């Protein structure tokens, strides 16, 4: 038995050191390179999506309406997708969140745990406002991450924002950021978010007005070569369903891509793309700020309200509270009756009322 345990532990260590980092960087040669745009089209030639991530056969997309597509082949900068129908699980989540007033807390003590934020591609920037699509070691994506951080903090969520750079922007970036993710994991985060921006040329692809704000929509990316893919995808579906209920149109789609993206480390790890390099950075900041309003409720990260004191005005007022209320009312009535009848010459009436009042008072007190 000891040998078996040692073999399992050794195997897991080897996977983390050798296999998962390689998977994390799979397809990384053209990952998020500004100005590289791939079109995903259906059999009728309609553009279903755009991405700077190189598509691969087997990649999938679930859009905000629940339509589910799968990449069947890729040629040059075009990928053909096939409609798989509508995702019933996601539609059930949408219906559920539309129906309930409050979202049940997933775990009672989760609000005590932090959310982790980091950037694998720390050079990514927004050309119209940063002046460049890439700024090594200090890209504009840091300000977007900071806005996400601030939005969560304003809702009293604990946040661990790791600003470690992972340049250069190459196929090994995810291998370097894995060390950061593992460091964040020591804080026992309830979720991990790797914040990026896309590299497609068309700014209109992401730009929208959501909740009366100019924002960039968000794309959630889940790695397919990942033992926790099912759990990560479930989290992505819940987040898209709930965030779009709170702010319709905020999350554009979920993209299931070839690769790992270090999501094997946690069941609630996601990659977020906040717009593209041709969008203005304040639009991306507004988008993640809206998302920050949805995350705490979905994950049950809002600290419980302070308990109200029990009393006659509290919904929690119990039997003793009602006894106190009746006692106060009775004393007021008794005082009024005493004022009237003390000056009344009808002594028999006065004595009868005094005896009756004393009897009622004793019952309430006991």
Per-residue pLDDT reduced to its tens digit, 225-283: 999 999 999 999 999 999 999 999 999 999 999 999 999 999 999 999 999 999 999 99
Q: Determine the pLDDT at residue 143.
A: 98
Q: Determine the pLDDT at residue 100.
A: 83
Q: Residue 308 above 90 pLDDT?
A: no
User: pLDDT-derived band of residue 8, with 50, 70 and 90 as boundaries?
Assistant: very low
Q: Which residue has the higher pLDDT, 300 or 193?
A: 193
Q: Determine the pLDDT at residue 299.
A: 87
Q: How far apart are CA 160 and CA 339, in angstroms?
A: 68
Mean pLDDT, the chain, as a whole number? Answer: 82
Q: Determine the pLDDT at residue 362.
A: 62
φ/ψ of 242, rounded to 5, equals -75, -45
User: pLDDT-derived band of residue 364, with 50, 70 and 90 as boundaries?
Assistant: low
Q: Determine the pLDDT at residue 221.
A: 98
Q: Determine the pLDDT at residue 267.
A: 96
Q: Please report, for residues 164, 301, 322, the alpha-carbon distance to residue 155 in angstroms, rounded to integers and kept in the order given.
A: 25, 9, 36
Per-residue pLDDT reduced to its tens digit, 119-149: 999 999 999 999 999 999 999 999 999 999 9
Q: Which residues pair with 206 in a beta bridge?
A: none
pTM of the model: 0.76
Q: Please report, for residues 2, 4, 15, 19, 263, the alpha-carbon distance to residue 9 in angstroms, rounded to integers and kept in the order given.
A: 11, 9, 10, 15, 19
Q: How far apart are CA 128 and CA 294, in angstroms?
A: 28
């Amino acid at each position: 038995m000891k040998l078996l345990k040692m073999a399992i532990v050794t195997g897991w260590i080897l996977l983390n050191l050798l296999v998962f980092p390689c998977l994390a960087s799979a397809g990384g040669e053209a990952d998020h390179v500004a100005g590289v745009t791939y079109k995903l089209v259906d059999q009728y030639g309609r553009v279903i999506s755009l991405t700077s991530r190189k598509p691969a056969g087997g990649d999938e997309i679930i859009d905000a309406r629940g339509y589910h597509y799968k990449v069947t082949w890729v040629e040059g900068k075009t990928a053909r997708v096939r409609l798989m129908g509508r995702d019933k699980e996601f539609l059930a989540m949408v219906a559920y969140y539309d129906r309930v007033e409050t979202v049940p807390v997933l775990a009672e003590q989760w609000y005590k745990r932090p959310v982790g934020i980091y950037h694998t591609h720390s050079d990514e920037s927004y050309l119209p406002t940063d002046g460049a699509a890439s700024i090594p070691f200090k890209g504009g994506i840091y300000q977007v991450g900071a806005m996400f951080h601030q939005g969560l903090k304003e809702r009293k969520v604990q946040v661990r924002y790791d600003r470690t750079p992972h340049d250069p922007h190459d196929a090994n970036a995810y291998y370097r950021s894995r060390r950061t993710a593992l460091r964040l994991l020591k804080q026992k985060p309830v979720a991990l978010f790797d914040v990026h921006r896309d590299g497609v040329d068309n700014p209109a692809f992401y730009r929208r007005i959501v909740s009366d704000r100019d924002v960039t929509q968000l794309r959630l990316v889940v790695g397919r070569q990942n033992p926790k893919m099912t759990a990560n995808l479930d989290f992505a579906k819940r987040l898209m369903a709930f965030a779009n209920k709170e702010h319709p149109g905020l999350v554009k789609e979920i993209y299931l891509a070839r690769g790992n993206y270090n999501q094997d480390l946690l069941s609630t790890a996601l990659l977020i793309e906040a717009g593209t390099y041709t969008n203005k950075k304040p639009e991306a900041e507004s988008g993640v700020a809206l998302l920050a309003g949805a995350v705490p409720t979905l994950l049950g990260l809002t600290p419980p309200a302070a308990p109200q004191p029990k009393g006659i005005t509290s919904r929690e007022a119990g039997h003793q509270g009602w006894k106190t209320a009746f006692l106060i009312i009775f004393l007021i009535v008794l005082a009024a009756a005493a004022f009237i009848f003390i000056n009344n010459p009808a002594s028999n009436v006065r004595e009868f009322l005094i005896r009756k009042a004393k009897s009622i008072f004793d019952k309430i007190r006991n």
